[in-house]
Amino acid sequence: MSKYSCHILAAALAAGLTGSAAQAGDETLAGAAAMPEPTPPVVARGNEPFWFLTLAEGRMVFAPLDGEVIDLPLPTPVETAEGWRFAAEAGLSATLSGGPCRDTMTGMPHPFAASVDVGGQVLAGCAGDPADLLAGSEWQVTMIGADPVPADAEVTMLFEAEGRVSGSSGCNRFFGGFALTGEGLGFDPNMAGTMMACEDATMELERAFLESLPLVTGFDIGTDGGLLLLSGDRAVIHAAR
């Protein structure tokens, strides 16, 4: 095993990238839109058997938990009907297709589904950084628990770099931190914010939103592309773009 291969495997393990899906049990949304060409670095992973595939720094590295690491030059991806295919030498190829794809052990959604062919053995898994599903434009909160947010109210969330989140909580602006790990998503229990006063109904909406954030243990992406912030298996906040 080369020093580079060891570095890639160690980095994946240290980042908590503990496999996503390995067999036909992958949960990928049907009818996902065509995806743009993936930009390295990209890490894919699968469960049972556990494996990692890293596309980075001009290398394509397949690292099973048990077995020999395959370290090859990164091929140029080719767009196919299934997705973007990276076909290296020595019987190693990988196809990344549109997701979200959910880790079969943790339920964590990832941007892409991954299919890796290693000498004729096909392994299914997930790829990409879950944080990319949260980042981007501002989310508009549409429901808090079972209660819809009134059309004239503004409750928003913007996930920023370095684990920061901000937005409108209804009356005031809020800001604080969030933590995304291989196991789930959590928010700071005490968000900072401005101190304006609004009508009673707006203040009650704001209270419900801010009290829901510490309950969050994970997230998912709905079939409509909306964001679901989960407390266990229950959605406590719904948002859309």
pLDDT tens, residue by residue, 134-145: 999 999 999 999
Please give the Cα distance from 178 to 176 (Å, whole number).
7
**Phi and psi torsions of 14, nearest 5°:** -65, -30
Residue 148 has pLDDT above 60, yes or no: yes
What pLDDT, on the 0 to 100 scale, is given for residue 90?
Answer: 82
Residue 129 has pLDDT above 80, yes or no: yes
Residue 228 has pLDDT above 60, yes or no: yes
What pLDDT, on the 0 to 100 scale, is given for residue 19?
Answer: 40
Residue 231 has pLDDT above 50, yes or no: yes
Q: What is the CATH number of domain 132-240?
A: 2.40.128.270
pLDDT tens, residue by residue, 14-40: 444 334 443 333 444 433 446 789 999
Q: Where does the pLDDT of residue 111 fall: very low under 50, low under 70, confident under 90, or very high at 90 and above?
A: very high
User: For the whole model, what pTM was predicted?
Assistant: 0.83
What pLDDT, on the 0 to 100 scale, is given for residue 34?
Answer: 62
Token readout for 142 is 């549409």
Q: Where does the pLDDT of residue 7 fall: very low under 50, low under 70, confident under 90, or very high at 90 and above?
A: very low
What pLDDT, on the 0 to 100 scale, is given for residue 10?
Answer: 44
What pLDDT, on the 0 to 100 scale, is given for residue 89?
Answer: 81
| Domain(s) of CATH 2.40.128.270: residues in the chain | 132-240
Other beta carbons within 10 angstroms of residue 104's beta carbon come to 21
